[in-house]
Structure 1
Amino acid sequence: MVVDAAGRAVVLETGRLRMRAWRVAEAGVQRELWTERDPRVPPHRRIDAQGRPTVGDLEDSIRDDEFWSTGLLAVERKATKDVIGYCGLFDGGRGTPEEPDLAFELLRRVWGQGYATEAARAVLEWARASGYERLWATVWDWNVASRRVLAKVGFTETARTVVDAERGTTLFTTIRL
């Protein structure tokens, strides 16, 4: 569960969204995100040949509070109460505990409605208020929509990249808060 410095569960709200800890019953949304991923995404982030992770695997992960399942906040639309993806900070990619990565992923059916930008802005406001001075985000060069979201919220691309002949180039972006 994502907690603030005082140990309280983080809940962020915008005009249309509420971001909060995942619930076990929402494992199906996580599974749907896994099934929708581009084939260029690394295999460890896609459904494997045995069909894993299954909904049951993801339920267990949420129940056990495993980071890869719950380290990012569920993004829920206030009007319909449905979870449409995740957004938050994590210590992966380029990130460290002092300068974490921003990450977001939304279901395809809600792409193009401004939810990723809205969620990212809320996380940035929370990060600023929490004392973070700089954040990172990595993005594939071919992921134009996510690159656009990062630019809208103020991230700039750095000169650092990692080239993968099979999957494309990973771009490193950053923002000073």
Structure 2
Amino acid sequence: MLLLETERLLLRPWRVSEAAVQHEMWTERDPRVPPHRRIGADGRPTVEDVARWIEDTAEPSTLGLPALELKGSGDVIGYCGLITGSQVPDDEPELAFELLRRAWGHGYATEAAWAVLGWARESGYERLWATVRAWNDASLRVLAKVGFTESGRVEPDAVHGDSLFLTREL
């Protein structure tokens, strides 16, 4: 079972009972986020849809998006982990993170990212990527704090904002 621990956080597999937390993140997303990553006009995904996704997802090994649990309270505030994407090499996954708005500004994303970087290094990865919209200043700050730099690669998107590709050698 995947378990990473920091001073204030546990990074661990999601529980079906936490579907409402993931759903809340969907509802809080910036309106500039592409529609397929927001709650649709049909109300989907629902909490029940998210619960099914959690139930159907295998426990991550070196890939996945573990839940971020606050040690003191047991509250789940987001996720941070590694994913593969069609736009980066399979052996160089992407760091991905998202927190509930009430958890912003406390350094949790940076703390979790450091833990995931260590996990990635121990798992044998040599380089990671991160893609982020150019307007997402908070995520860009987190990525800079943990050593990511812009690769020079940009995917233009006049509707939702350009995607910047950042990288970090491990």
TM over 0.5: yes
Secondary structure of 1:164 counterpart: coil
Identity %: 65
1:103 to 71, 74, 96: 96
* Inter-partner Cα distance in structure 2 for 1:162 and 1:102: 17
Q: Does the alignment pair 1:52 with 2:44? A: yes
Q: Does the alignment pair 1:13 with 2:12? A: no
Give structure 2 stretches of 5+ with no counterpart.
none
1:1-177 mapped onto 2 (5 Å cutoff)? 9-65=1-57, 71-92=64-85, 94-177=87-170
Aligned length: 167
Q: Alignment RMSD, CA only?
A: 1.4
* Inter-partner Cα distance in structure 1 for 2:110 and 2:93: 18
* Inter-partner Cα distance in structure 2 for 1:66 and 1:11: 14
Normalization by structure 2: what TM-score? 0.95
Normalization by structure 1: what TM-score? 0.91
Give structure 1 stretches of 5+ with no counterpart.
1-8
Secondary structure of 1:175 counterpart: strand
**Residue type of the alignment partner of 1:141:** A
Cα deviation, 1:62-102, whole Å, max 9, x if unaligned, reads 111179xx931000000000100000000025333310000
Runs of 4+ in 1 over 2 A off after TM superposition: 93-97
